[in-house]
Chains A and B, each alone.
Chain A
């Protein structure tokens, strides 16, 4: 793989939450992201998967400083974004953009799509003339498959898939190096999902983008991602190349996730590993390994010490479990 463009180190995002009501209520930290580390290479797609509420979206927003991280570092090309001033951070936004989950909600209903797509240009490349901006907007629209004569229409006049294309056009118009895709296809029909996923893959190839692909849909992740990070309750469970993760998941949580993916073949009898219980509250996460309350291999050791992310093989497969060796055999 080529150079590392983004390195996240021990990133933590805690939200203060008032526990109980009335006067003198204590504020507890809600640990949305709790010590996540990974790196991303140029031109690579890293999938971030996990069930709802595990901190996927918060992680993506913290990297872009849409939410301020509580601790840790986000190193972008050797510079720590978390410690930049707001003005300096604003200049960095040209290099990193985001695509949102709800396509319509992420577009201002009062602006035409031409104005929406031009907004990052207007803010981040103010030296462009009106005509130059227009050319860039039309170029971005053409890349995502929007007809140039639609430039004066409003978001509510488009379908969900088209709205997502508008969102993608807005993200690529400043020619960023990284796009964080926050569940970009979850709100779309399956047929449209495929179009948007393929569009993203084409754009990645043509523009040399790195993608951080946040999703809970494992089939889509397997299709688009080079590497996958499995998140549970704000902690990394496993990080591996897409093939290694799906062929040979090492963490019991990953195994359960993958076994839950439906197989489109009625002949195959399918027995998913069922996880018991609910996701614990991130206000009071379990001691030691956060997954132990739902893990069938859990022992006393799991309750006492938190497992570190360790290398499982030479190919960069990392897993955070005390018992992965026994489970594998």
Chain B
């Protein structure tokens, strides 16, 4: 055979899924919204006319005012709400990203090993997950905060440490059903060792349901972070998050409704978009749709 023969490029299942996702308008819109919000939160604070932590005593709790550069008004101590919301989005997205990455890494490896190896090892690993599951989450977070003080990194860890449990269960179930597929037997016959089989065959094949679960985990994590911040367990002043802003806005909602409306609308837009994207991804990966 000559090497000059032109190769026919194959289309992988991922490429197929991506094509289907691109045809889903709601998902594409959602992705665009997320991209715009994320980009704004990264670039916006530099371009905005006011820093996020400067107190402007001349402009306390004013309504949106373009003339002075307070696009979304100011809060109770005169800080620019627009910049503060962008900072809040930053924190929310960072928490979401970090917690999801932690849960993804631990969950996939743990679940794939438990599911594929099976037997006593699986039994022991999953009972450990059950034990962690049964610990009340809020209690866990509060103790962590009390012992180590308020700290964003700690919050990432706490969220990740809880989220991976569900991930591990989902992955384990997938791995167990993949284990009995013929191509795994074929890999054993081809001389592949257990770690190779898990890495090359099990994990790539269970990523479909995992991706779907991730897109649904992100809004969940954002919500939990907002909830913790709302309770005063989240980020520390002057830094802020969407949950803190909403909590502060709720106090002033009769006199300065913009302080509640804008952060809440931003959070809602983010959550909606992630949920739509998650739906789109699930449809795109559903083999029955083919």
Contact for A152 among B8, B183, B191, B192, CB less than 8 A: B8
- Beta-carbon contact of A154 and B10 below 8 Å: yes
- Beta-carbon contact of B183 and A108 below 8 Å: yes
Beta-carbon contacts under 8 Å, B1-27 to A: 1, 5-13
- Beta-carbon contact of B8 and A149 below 8 Å: yes
- Assuming the A-B contacts A90-B193, A123-B191, are A154 and B186 also in contact, with contact meaning beta carbons closer than 8 angstroms in the complex? no
B210 vs chain A, min Cβ distance (A): 13
Contact for A98 among B1, B6, B7, B189, CB less than 8 A: B189
B201 CB within 8 Å of chain A: yes
Query: Which residue of A has the minimal Cβ distance to B186?
Result: A106
- Give the distance in Å from the alpha carbon of A152 to the alpha carbon of B9 in the complex: 6
Residues of chain A with a CB closer than 8 A to B13's CB:
109-110, 154, 156
Per-residue CB proximity of B237-274 to A under 8 Å, as 1/0? 00000000000000000000000000000000000000
A66 CB within 8 Å of chain B: yes
A119 CB within 8 Å of chain B: yes
B198 vs chain A, min Cβ distance (A): 13
- Assuming the A-B contacts A110-B12, A112-B10, A154-B12, are A142 and B189 also in contact, with contact meaning beta carbons closer than 8 angstroms in the complex? no
B143 vs chain A, min Cβ distance (A): 39
- Beta-carbon contact of B187 and A108 below 8 Å: yes
Query: Which residue of B has the minimal Cβ distance to A139?
Result: B1
- Beta-carbon contact of A120 and B183 below 8 Å: no
Beta-carbon contacts under 8 Å, B172-206 to A: 181-183, 185-193, 196, 200-201, 204-205
Contact for B189 among A64, A101, A105, CB less than 8 A: A64
Interface centre among A108, A109, A113, A156 (most CB of B within 10 A): A108
- Give the distance in Å from the alpha carbon of A123 to the alpha carbon of B199 in the complex: 14
Residues of chain B with a CB closer than 8 A to A238's CB:
none
B120 vs chain A, min Cβ distance (A): 15
Beta-carbon contacts under 8 Å, A66-108 to B: 66, 90, 93-94, 97-98, 100-102, 105-108
Query: Which residue of B has the minimal Cβ distance to A86?
Result: B193
- Give the distance in Å from the alpha carbon of A199 to the alpha carbon of B90 in the complex: 62
- Beta-carbon contact of B181 and A105 below 8 Å: yes
Number of A-B contacts (CB under 8 A): 89
Per-residue CB proximity of A143-158 to B under 8 Å, as 1/0? 0000011111110110
A170 CB within 8 Å of chain B: yes
A47 vs chain B, min Cβ distance (A): 21
- Assuming the A-B contacts A120-B191, A170-B186, are A110 and B5 also in contact, with contact meaning beta carbons closer than 8 angstroms in the complex? no
- Give the distance in Å from the alpha carbon of A66 to the alpha carbon of B182 in the complex: 11
- Beta-carbon contact of B186 and A152 below 8 Å: no
- Assuming the A-B contacts A105-B181, A105-B182, A108-B205, are A151 and B189 also in contact, with contact meaning beta carbons closer than 8 angstroms in the complex? no
- Beta-carbon contact of A106 and B182 below 8 Å: yes
Residues of chain B with a CB closer than 8 A to A170's CB:
186, 190
Beta-carbon contacts under 8 Å, A149-183 to B: 149-154, 156-157, 167, 170
A119 vs chain B, min Cβ distance (A): 5
- Beta-carbon contact of B7 and A149 below 8 Å: yes
- Beta-carbon contact of A119 and B190 below 8 Å: yes
- Beta-carbon contact of A138 and B1 below 8 Å: yes
Residues of chain B with a CB closer than 8 A to A93's CB:
189-191
B203 vs chain A, min Cβ distance (A): 10
- Beta-carbon contact of A152 and B10 below 8 Å: yes
- Give the distance in Å from the alpha carbon of A157 to the alpha carbon of B8 in the complex: 11
Interface centre among B1, B11, B196, B201 (most CB of A within 10 A): B1
- Give the distance in Å from the alpha carbon of A97 to the alpha carbon of B188 in the complex: 10
Contact for B182 among A90, A100, A119, CB less than 8 A: A100
Residues of chain A with a CB closer than 8 A to B186's CB:
98, 100, 106-108, 167, 170
Residues of chain B with a CB closer than 8 A to A90's CB:
191, 193
A124 CB within 8 Å of chain B: yes
- Beta-carbon contact of A153 and B187 below 8 Å: no
- Beta-carbon contact of B183 and A106 below 8 Å: yes
Query: Which residue of B has the minimal Cβ distance to A157?
Result: B10
Residues of chain A with a CB closer than 8 A to B193's CB:
90, 123
- Beta-carbon contact of B1 and A148 below 8 Å: yes
Residues of chain A with a CB closer than 8 A to B204's CB:
108, 110
- Assuming the A-B contacts A149-B6, A157-B11, are A119 and B205 also in contact, with contact meaning beta carbons closer than 8 angstroms in the complex? no
Interface centre among B8, B183, B188, B190 (most CB of A within 10 A): B190
Residues of chain B with a CB closer than 8 A to A123's CB:
190-193, 196
The 7 closest A-B pairs by CB, nearest first: A153-B10, A123-B191, A120-B190, A106-B182, A110-B204, A105-B182, A124-B191
**A–B Cβ pairs within 8 angstroms, 16 of them:** A66-B185, A90-B193, A93-B191, A97-B189, A98-B186, A100-B185, A102-B182, A105-B183, A106-B186, A107-B183, A108-B183, A108-B201, A119-B192, A149-B7, A152-B7, A152-B8
Interface residues of A (CB under 8 A from B): 61, 64, 66, 90, 93-94, 97-98, 100-102, 105-113, 119-120, 123-124, 138, 142, 148-154, 156-157, 167, 170
Interface residues of B (CB under 8 A from A): 1, 5-13, 181-183, 185-193, 196, 200-201, 204-205
Contacts A100-B182, A105-B181, A157-B11 known; 12 new A-B pairs at CB < 8 A: A90-B191, A93-B189, A93-B191, A94-B191, A108-B204, A109-B183, A112-B12, A123-B192, A149-B5, A153-B8, A154-B12, A154-B13
